[in-house]
Structure 1
């Protein structure tokens, strides 16, 4: 309960200051509702999902050269949420789609760290303003979307890369999740190292139950019971020529990768039975040893999430 309340309060407290900028937070939130509709009491994006609880444990010492985060020095407790991307209330589990995983991590020394990831490898546009414009174009129909694509060539690169990926149906526990935003690792001396990260399945957990439109929860519960579900946190260090502040630019070529930690799922449950539903997975809530990058989308995500959590929790009253 402490971490849940703290995460919400941190986000809501930051909102009035951030909202004094140029970004129209309420308009951005409304764009999700315009495209997907409104399912009262639920998230407007990543609407369908369930809770996963477990532990994050350090793996090796290599990450200590770059960060003094307590994530990498002791066992942390995790409340996570896995989800389908999009605002439809009940997309089918037995059809391929983009997925997400978000985590609220409480470290051994009671620090708090939030992670929000998607299955995409990079973002379709560079700024939050452009993303909101994209949502509105999709809501308006094909002609508006084509006009948007002509204006923003990054969308073409995004579609070309992701459309070429295999569309094999995988459960959450067999899926790799990526941070589309960059962050900095911070060491004891305050030196910052830019990075992105992924959570990659530690094993080959696949489909072990009969598939149907809502089989993902049952599948994960069975995989946990049959031997465990875990993901490795793989940190990718930026090269000198990598673009850090633009999430639409893919990092290509050879990079230093460090397996820094492992998230092991201990239980999976419906939102009504777990603790994840009320959480605000604000990517700006970071433990010591991390700092946000200059990517402006991070701050805007924080603002929209803060508005969203207040809205949906009020609808539950």
Structure 2
């Protein structure tokens, strides 16, 4: 499914994007998925609209589109619970059986017209509404950690990586100064540079990044994160061939997803990871050890992709605090702020008309 032809203004040449990928692109664009607002910054309090302004300054203005992860497509399917999640959470979605799902795949780029051949993270957002009417919304990312751990650092990161209007690139001195002061961001960059990039939306994994709490019927609460792990066989993109991929098809990830769905549904296992004593629940830059207990609670089945302009995902936010009874927020301060920024973005694009 190929998006409409972009407006006359051409995108920045790919080689420029590639050179900045591990700085302005990855640490900047992935940050857009987790923009924050709250009273942490003093003396002034930032609103969701304030942070939306920062995103527009970083990405440019694209009326009708989301302020982050602008390039996306709606999807429809269902979740088949195997019942194992009931030991962890009383949420109705974990009862054995089927729950309808809709959602959105997206590319973490700053423009809806950007090419797919870039080393950017991908995202998967979902809405699961159970038979009792309870709704669980997820906003997951293909990278299991975040480049910064607090609001002040996020704001500083956006300022450091905002492209200069003359050169079209972030100022090297600002980026270098930020990285020198933030070892967690340097570690994130190293992780991004070393990990293979999935060749498809369908063979990639997606992660909650933030921690949450699952509450069982007996009241016992456990701190968790979760991941969607694909059943499709993994193959990696060749980073050295991004130029050739973009020349052949600028929208190859989205067209590949449509082609795979024409052949049949695509599936992911929903795997819940349980925290152990000492695991941080309030810092998304820190991964938990691979040895932590994991529980496979069911299978996500995606059956259809639709253009976002006409699909069910267009006019909602995938607010991570839309949670059913049995799932609650953790002490991660980013969660409430994400909710506020997503709401501000929805208000803006709702008044701008449908994206082209």
Distance 1:206 1:247 in 2: 27
1:90 to 88, 108, 113: 113
Match status 1:252 vs 2:282: no
Q: What SS class does the counterpart of residue 279 from structure 1 fall into?
A: coil
1:236 to 273, 281, 297: 273
Structure 2 gap segments, 5+ residues each? 1-36, 163-169, 237-244
Match status 1:172 vs 2:201: yes
Report what 1:32 is aligned to: 55
What is the Cα-based RMSD across aligned positions, in Å?
2.0
2:131 to 103, 108, 119: 108
2:180 to 122, 133, 150: 150
Report what 1:313 is aligned to: 350
Report what 2:254 is aligned to: 217
Cα displacement string for residues 63-104 of structure 1 (whole angstroms, at most 9, x for unaligned residues): 222111111113211110000013222222244431111011
Distance 2:345 2:87 in 1: 37
Contact 2:213 2:223 in 1 (8 A): yes
Q: What SS class does the counterpart of residue 155 from structure 1 fall into?
A: helix
Match status 1:71 vs 2:108: no
Q: What SS class does the counterpart of residue 309 from structure 2 fall into?
A: helix
Contact 1:205 1:229 in 2 (8 A): no
Distance 1:160 1:217 in 2: 27
- Structure 1 residue 242: Cα displacement: 0.8
Over 3 Å counting, the alpha-carbon distance change for 1:206 and 1:158 in structure 2 is closer
Q: Give the structure-2-normalised TM-score.
A: 0.78
Distance 1:124 1:97 in 2: 13
Report what 1:128 is aligned to: 151
Distance 1:117 1:83 in 2: 10
Q: Give the structure-1-normalised TM-score.
A: 0.87
Cα displacement string for residues 174-231 of structure 1 (whole angstroms, at most 9, x for unaligned residues): 1111111000110112221001111111232779xx9611133332222123232011
Report what 2:16 is aligned to: none
Q: Report how many residues are paired.
A: 296
